[in-house]
Structure formats: structure tokens, C-alpha cells
Chains A and B, each alone.
Chain A
């Protein structure tokens, strides 16, 4: 993707609200025709970044470039960028057709062309027959489609999407994910997508920008981010992971949980303390005597595709996802392939993520976040 031309460039952006620094020395390049996702927890600065690109906020320090031109002071209506807002912001006094036609009418496009382009959009988002409907009578999913059509009809170079699917139910969200990805492929428009849902980010993006605390934690493809997390925050935020303290003895040799393992990473100092990540699905369960480590199963939860078991190994609770059932309280051995072990440098996040001792599957489901508003924590501050 990096062969494509740079379309947006953020250089050393800093943004503060009062004493609160939302973005700190934030630099990023976005390439043409890319599907880029800003992923991070609520309040991490991802929406602020999007609003700076859209022109709704201006950075306190740093510069924004659009196709090589500095656009810091360009108001939103002069930017070749359109936005799909989090809660749609459809105009309640206009019907579906007129909502979609709004941008074209402002641009004084000829009536015949307006009808053509709007109809094409209505076709694209599957809203045929809804042209005359008032937007208040539409379901959440339909309003979402109108919002997407209203932005896309203007042929923007870049489409900004601020948690566009957060208010939809799971099934609809999955369908819309596929549709958005198809639309992006068909139109070739650069998408910048903000979400806190890691699964959504992994399944849609060409590039994921993981953000926390106003700083970029990692930029990479879905597989990069998942398989080679840069630090404990990324490893924990994307998917499930067992993060252990380890010592890198030498290249391709690491010690953790009182055992020395072969791994595939190198480039660390001898005896450097590191964070070790092992994904739950990469741990194989074997009979006790064949295991590299031995532990006792403390809980077993059926998840449909797999069992999710928590195993106490030398006092550290591992999560293992397996298709083989293990009875609670049974002793098992585990085997880990060298390439399943990922080594990370120590970071500010190193000790923040412990084991799975306080893990509850139920809690995880409950905390799947509602639509959030980073700028207005007083409005919806469930998190």
C-alpha cells in the first residue's frame, strides 16, 4: 500500500482541551485508496484526530497536509473530505433524497445530474423506494445508509467514518462491515474509519493505527498488529493474549514461567527483560508428561467454536482456546511452538496487564461499548 501517493499527512499534531492533552506529537501518513482504521479505547484521541482531518477542530501545534498542501486553517466546507457522523446527523427537515442531494445542491450541480447521482447512491446503499421517506421514519441501519450515501455522493477523495456502526445490532453491523468494505473497493475512495471494536478493525482495514493516550502505539496491517504487537497495550487491546514477564537470554532464546523456550525473535540485548505474548489459540494442550509447562485447569467455558479454559501455571493464569475439552481441576501440560511466542520490548504498559485471574466472560460481553463521545464525556460516560 505504501507505494500509493500520500493523501493526508499529520505532522507533530498536539491538541489540548484545557489542561487535558488529547493528542501528543501525533504524526501519521495516509495513502490514497487505503482503508485506514483508528483503533483505540474511548478517550484515546481517535475521534479528535478524525475531527482535525475533517476540519472541525484545529490542532494547537503541528500541521495537517492534504495532497501536499497545508490545510490547518481550511474550514470543513472547503475540504475535499466528507464525514459519516457517529449519530448520523441527518437533516430532519429533508427527506431521504434531499438529504443525499444536499451537498450537490450546495455545489450547484445541474438538477438532471443530481437526480442521476443520488439515484445511483440510493441503489448502492440499497434504499430504493425510500426516496420520499422522512429520515425520522427510518431504522438505525437505514439512517446509517443515508448518512453514507449523503457523504459519498460528493465524490470525496477521503471519507471519514466516526464509529458509524456503533449504534447497530451485531448482525446488522457484520453486514454493514462487508458492505462498507465493498463500497470502498468499488469507489476507490480512501476511508478513514474510527472504531473501538478490534474485530471490526481487523476484518475491514488495510492499515490499522492503534492509538492510546493520544499517541500512536502501532501502525500496521491486521496481521502485523495481531501477530507482532509492539507493546503490551496493543497485545491486550487486540484479541486475547497471555502477557508474561520474560528474560531474553540470547537471540531466539527466552525464559519465562521458569522455563527456557525457543522463539523466532532476535535483536535484544543479552538478558534483557521483555514482555512475552502467547495468543490463547496458539497454546496446545498435551498430556502432563509431554508438556513444556504443567498446570491445573481452573475454569472451562464453552464458546461455541472452542472451549476457553483458564489454566494456572506456576501461579499465572493462562487463557487457552482449544477444541479439546479438559475437565476443571485436571492437570494438563501445554506445548508452545517457537513461532507462537512473540517478544516485545518493555514499555510503560508492561505491568498494567496481568493474567486472567480476574477474568469473567460475562463481563467482557457486557462491556462491549455503546456509542461513545470522546469530546463530551458527560453525555455518555458509561466507560
Chain B
């Protein structure tokens, strides 16, 4: 092996410093706080107290799963039809899809509230049309709607990337062998774009499970999710340690789900694969 030159060696230093400062060190702190009491002494009490948060974990996982499934059900057909359009149309659709991503998540969530609120745009419209008002904000549906709205592009883009790289010849061969468009979708497009699907699912599930803002605003404060719990606990110095323990468990949860997803795409090194 060739010995690395001084410059090459030097070039990695900033990255290593960055990693240590902003990735490794915070992780160490999380672990440290999780296993210490408020007085700084070693303690397992935070971990044992986690059982109190069991419902919150369950609720968060449910919300994340439902919004991931909905994102997939909307996102896959969208990506599929986009990939079958003319190249020019595809570019325009991509830009439209990415446009909301240029705006901060906070603003997007606020504007969604402005539309859905009891006195919001939608209800004003309903009122003027003589339809009864609907109560949306503060329902589980509103939280899921918010998650789907915010994270849908993360589902569509990797799937679209996978599909647009698929050679048309596979579609032609399927059609030649008697498969109509629905069968072609299930028997050819879906299996061949699996890496994109897996990366899309991961990219929606992970932020959904850890989100805190969407549930607070659109849930009307009725749904306490993991992200909200962690945020609240870190606002008070005395509950830092409990917050760290919850964060640690959530990280393990996310790592486990990513590992499971990676397992599905194992042996499949094609493009559009795992990004997270």
C-alpha cells in the first residue's frame, strides 16, 4: 500500500474534528446523561423509569408507520407515472415536488394550520358554501396529514430515481409477454425499484418517528410523541437525564429499523439504495 502524503493526511483532519465535536461527543453525552441522575451520580433509574413512556413510544411508532404507509401508497404511483412521462414533463414535476422543500418545515406546518384550523381557509370556504365546518386540527388525522405532507417528497424522490433508471426494454418485454400496465407495475417495476422503495421508506419513517413540531401544532397538544417528550425534557435542566434516556432508546429504535430495511435490500447493490 502507498503511504499517504502529508497533504492527504491533513485533509481528513477537519472531518475528524467535525465528527468528534458534533457526532461522537454528543452521543457520548447522551449515553452519559442517560445513565446518571440529576446529581451526576451513576444511576439506572432513568432506564427503569422508561416504562412510563411506553404508550408514547407506541403512539409515535403507530403515527410514523401509518404516515410511512400513506406516503408509500401516494408516493409510489406518483413516482411511477412521473418516470413514464416525457423527460421535459419529468423535470417540471420534480421541481414542483421539490418546491415545498425549499421552505422551512415550521412555515409549512404553520401554513397547513392556517388552512385546516377551525377558523381557517378550508372552513371559511365551507362556511361560504353552506357546508358544516369540519374539526380537523387536534385529530390524529391532522397529525398524519402533516407528516405525509411534510415527508412525501422524501418518499417520491428515491423511488423516482430508481424507476427513471430502469431501461424501457423491461416494460416492453413485460408488455410483450402479456402483462398489462398494472401487472407490469407489480411484477417488473416494483421489484426492480425495491432499493428506491426501501430508501424512501427509511427516509420517511425516521423523521416521522422523531418529529415533534407537527404533532404539537396540528395535534392541538393532544398527542404526546417521542419528539415532543424529548423536547420538553430538555427545556428543563432537572429532566435532562430522563430526556437523554428517551433519546437513547429512540436512536436504538431507529438504528434497528434501518438495519431491518437494509436487510431487505441485501445483496442488491443497485443504484438508488440506502441513503440514511
Contact B177 A82 (CB under 8 A): yes
- Chain B residues with Cβ under 8 A from A154's Cβ? 177-178
Contact A91 B178 (CB under 8 A): no
CB of A354 closer than 8 Å to a CB of B: no
CB of A353 closer than 8 Å to a CB of B: no
Contact B172 A56 (CB under 8 A): yes
> Contacts A87-B169, A89-B167 known; A54 to B192 CB distance under 8 Å?
no
CB of B180 closer than 8 Å to a CB of A: yes
Contact A106 B169 (CB under 8 A): no
CB of B191 closer than 8 Å to a CB of A: yes
> Contacts A87-B169, A89-B167, A89-B170 known; A106 to B179 CB distance under 8 Å?
yes
B184 nearest CB neighbor, chain A only:
A77
Contact B169 A91 (CB under 8 A): no
A237 to B220, CA, bound (A): 79
CB of B173 closer than 8 Å to a CB of A: yes
B178 contacts which of A85, A87, A93, A106 (Cβ < 8 Å)?
A106
A257 to B176, CA, bound (A): 54
B172 contacts which of A76, A81, A93 (Cβ < 8 Å)?
A76
Chain B interface size range: 10 to 19
A55 to B179, CA, bound (A): 13
CB distance from B265 to the nearest CB of A (A): 12
Q: Which 10 A-B pairs have the closest CB atoms?
A: A103-B177, A89-B169, A89-B173, A76-B175, A93-B191, A106-B178, A83-B176, A77-B175, A77-B178, A106-B179
Digit string of A287-300 for contact with B (CB within 8 Å is 1, else 0)?
00000000000000
CB of B183 closer than 8 Å to a CB of A: yes
Digit string of A54-98 for contact with B (CB within 8 Å is 1, else 0)?
111000000000000000000111000111010101111100000
> Contacts A89-B170, A106-B183 known; A76 to B188 CB distance under 8 Å?
no
CB distance from B86 to the nearest CB of A (A): 14
CB of B187 closer than 8 Å to a CB of A: yes
Digit string of B154-194 for contact with A (CB within 8 Å is 1, else 0)?
00000000000001011011111111100100011001101
CB of A102 closer than 8 Å to a CB of B: yes
A76 contacts which of B169, B176, B192 (Cβ < 8 Å)?
B176
- Chain A residues with Cβ under 8 A from B179's Cβ? 77, 102, 106
CB distance from B14 to the nearest CB of A (A): 41
Q: Could you name 23 residue pairs across A and B whose Cβ atoms are closer than 8 Å? A: A54-B176, A56-B172, A76-B172, A76-B175, A76-B176, A77-B179, A83-B172, A83-B173, A85-B169, A85-B176, A89-B169, A89-B172, A89-B173, A90-B173, A91-B174, A91-B192, A102-B179, A102-B187, A106-B177, A107-B178, A150-B177, A154-B177, A154-B178
CB distance from A11 to the nearest CB of B (A): 23
A87 to B175, CA, bound (A): 16
Known: A77-B178, A85-B169. 11 other contacts (CB 8 A): A54-B176, A76-B172, A85-B173, A89-B169, A91-B170, A91-B173, A91-B174, A102-B179, A106-B187, A151-B176, A151-B177
A107 nearest CB neighbor, chain B only:
B178
Count of A-B residue pairs with CB < 8 Å:
61
- Chain B residues with Cβ under 8 A from A103's Cβ? 177-178
- Chain B residues with Cβ under 8 A from A91's Cβ? 170, 173-174, 188, 192
> Contacts A93-B192, A106-B183 known; A85 to B177 CB distance under 8 Å?
no
A147 nearest CB neighbor, chain B only:
B173
Most buried by A among B175, B183, B192: B175
A81 to B174, CA, bound (A): 13
CB distance from B193 to the nearest CB of A (A): 10
Contact B169 A75 (CB under 8 A): no
A85 to B188, CA, bound (A): 16
- Chain B residues with Cβ under 8 A from A87's Cβ? 169
- Chain A residues with Cβ under 8 A from B176's Cβ? 54, 56, 76-77, 81-83, 85, 151
Most buried by A among B170, B174, B176, B179: B176
- Chain B residues with Cβ under 8 A from A85's Cβ? 169, 172-173, 176
A150 to B178, CA, bound (A): 12
A103 nearest CB neighbor, chain B only:
B177
A315 to B188, CA, bound (A): 62
Q: Give residues of chain B (126-144) contacting chain A, Cβ–Cβ below 8 Å.
A: none
A340 to B24, CA, bound (A): 88
A323 to B170, CA, bound (A): 50
CB distance from B84 to the nearest CB of A (A): 14
A56 nearest CB neighbor, chain B only:
B172
Digit string of A149-182 for contact with B (CB within 8 Å is 1, else 0)?
0110010000000000000000000000000000
CB distance from B50 to the nearest CB of A (A): 42
Contact B180 A77 (CB under 8 A): yes
A78 to B62, CA, bound (A): 44
